[in-house]
């Protein structure tokens, strides 16, 4: 098996980090251009789908793009945030010791560089079966890039996927679903000195939230996915201290597991509000939802990934699931692609100031991806 070219991997990673693609607003096209030029210079074919300003790139080591294994990752990052929190320029791609620093170093421009290197090495070995790679836009907000790729006819041959989100090279085989809700309450305004003449929307919202947050939502127990969660992330209401508020809004973030369907959750909430006699003036709207996904433990891609990690790192990791969302939530249910999530870098450093990735881990990821590709496709 060919070894990763350390300089090539790091040079690409640095170039990607130094090219801003904060989402919002995105602007992934510059990052896409770098990746595309890099891989095409090694004879790897590329097709672009979706919005040209926010492109999604599908690569193949063969002109015949029909492969059954897809390596994938996203090109956008979250914003760098306050520069005061960083010890260095977040877009400087600074090397310190054995780490590469910068926004996106682990989430996920470093991992994208590992995927690109895998494509190059696999191509140079001239295998019969093609290896494919997808680089998406818009993952940090809507997974819109994965949606665009799924709507194309270019991934129909894909059976298995490796998502290179940072997992410290542990193996995740699923992720919790997502349900974002907006709870709105309507009251009646009145002067603050005569609150009995009005109807306080904030108080109504608090009552509704107390009921909803304490309700025990049913689910199917699964050791890997764990239990569902619910978080009250935002609340706002009222206009002025001496006015009885007539409007209030709260936003809830739920992470779902097996047995939980978004619309059924909303129906349960409305039902329990009615049981408590506080449904009048309360409205629950779905802002965003994504399904729970879980790849079977006996899937070939799971076995191959566990074997590769064990052979290269020396120990077999336990199977886990992601609490965060990935493009797998689109590619798996819409195309039937069985995914594992396995990538270099720590998820604890993602979205944080001083984000960085261990370089040795980055290079080991290339070995793991190579091993999976060669064994699965040969």
Residue-wise pLDDT for 44-75, tens only, equals 999 999 999 999 999 999 987 789 999 999 99
Same-domain status, 122 and 21: yes
* Average pLDDT over the chain, rounded to an integer: 97
185 shares a domain with 78: no
Distance CA(234)–CA(11), nearest Å, equals: 41
Question: Given 239, 268, 290, which residue is the final one in a domain?
Answer: 290
Q: Are residues 59 and 106 in the same domain?
A: yes
Give whole-number Cα distances, 51 to 73, 137, 138, 142, in Å.
Answer: 17, 9, 11, 14
Q: Is residue 1 part of a domain?
A: no
Instruction: State the total domains in the chain.
Output: 2
Specify the CATH number for the domain of residue 19: 3.40.630.10
Residue 135 and residue 59 share a domain: yes
202 inside domain: yes
Query: Do residues 192 and 159 both lie within one domain?
Result: no
What is the arithmetic mean of pLDDT over 256-276?
96
Q: Is 240 found in the same domain as 327?
A: no
pLDDT at 65: 73
Residue holding tokens 């433990």?
297
On whether residue 10 sits in a domain, the answer given is yes
Whether residue 230 sits in one domain with residue 126: no
Range of the domain at 305: 6-175+292-377
Strands 160-163 and 293-294: unpaired
| Letter string b/e over residues 349-361, b meaning 16 or more CB atoms within 10 A of that residue's CB | bbbbbbbbbbbeb
Do 271 and 319 reside in the same domain of the chain? no
Q: What is the pLDDT of residues 284-314, one digit of tens each?
A: 999 999 999 999 999 999 999 999 999 999 9
Mean pLDDT, residues 314-335 taken together: 96
pLDDT at residue 104 greater than cutoff 80: yes
**pTM across the whole model:** 0.93
């Amino acid at each position: 098996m060919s070894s990763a070219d350390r300089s090539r991997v790091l040079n690409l990673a640095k170039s990607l980090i130094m090219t801003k693609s904060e989402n919002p607003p995105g602007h992934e096209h510059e990052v896409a251009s770098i990746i595309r030029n890099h891989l095409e210079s090694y004879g790897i074919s590329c097709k672009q789908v979706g919005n040209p300003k926010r492109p999604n790139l599908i690569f193949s080591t063969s002109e015949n793009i029909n492969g059954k294994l897809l390596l994938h990752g996203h090109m956008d990052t979250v914003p760098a945030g306050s520069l005061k929190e960083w010890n260095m320029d977040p877009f400087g791609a600074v090397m310190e010791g054995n780490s590469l620093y910068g926004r996106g170093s682990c989430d996920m421009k470093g991992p994208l560089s590992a995927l690109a290197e895998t494509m190059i090495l696999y191509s140079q070995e001239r295998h019969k079966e093609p290896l494919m790679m997808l680089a998406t836009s818009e993952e940090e907000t809507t997974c819109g890039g994965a949606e665009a790729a799924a709507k194309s006819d270019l991934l129909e041959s894909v059976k298995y996927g490796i998502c290179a989100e940072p997992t410290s090279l542990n193996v995740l085989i699923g992720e919790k679903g997502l349900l974002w809700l907006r709870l709105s309450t309507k009251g009646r305004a009145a002067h603050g000195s005569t609150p009995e003449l009005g109807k306080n929307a904030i108080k109504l919202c608090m009552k509704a939230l107390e009921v909803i947050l304490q309700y025990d939502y049913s689910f199917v127990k699964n050791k890997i996915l764990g239990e569902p969660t619910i978080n009250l992330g935002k609340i706002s209401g009222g206009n002025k201290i001496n006015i009885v508020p007539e409007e209030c809004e709260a936003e809830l973030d739920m992470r779902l597991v097996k047995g939980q369907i978004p619309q059924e959750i909303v129906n349960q909430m409305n039902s329990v509000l009615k049981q408590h006699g506080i449904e009048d003036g309360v409205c629950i709207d779905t802002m965003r939802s994504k399904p729970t996904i879980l790849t079977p433990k006996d899937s070939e891609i799971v076995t191959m990934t566990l074997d590769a990690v064990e052979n290269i790192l020396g120990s077999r990791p336990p199977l886990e699931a992601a609490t965060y969302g990935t493009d797998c939530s689109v590619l798996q249910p819409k195309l039937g692609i069985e995914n594992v999530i396995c990538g270099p870098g720590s998820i604890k450093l993602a979205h944080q100031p001083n984000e960085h990735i261990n370089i040795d881990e980055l290079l080991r990821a290339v070995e793991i991806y190579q091993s999976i590709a060669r064994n699965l496709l040969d």
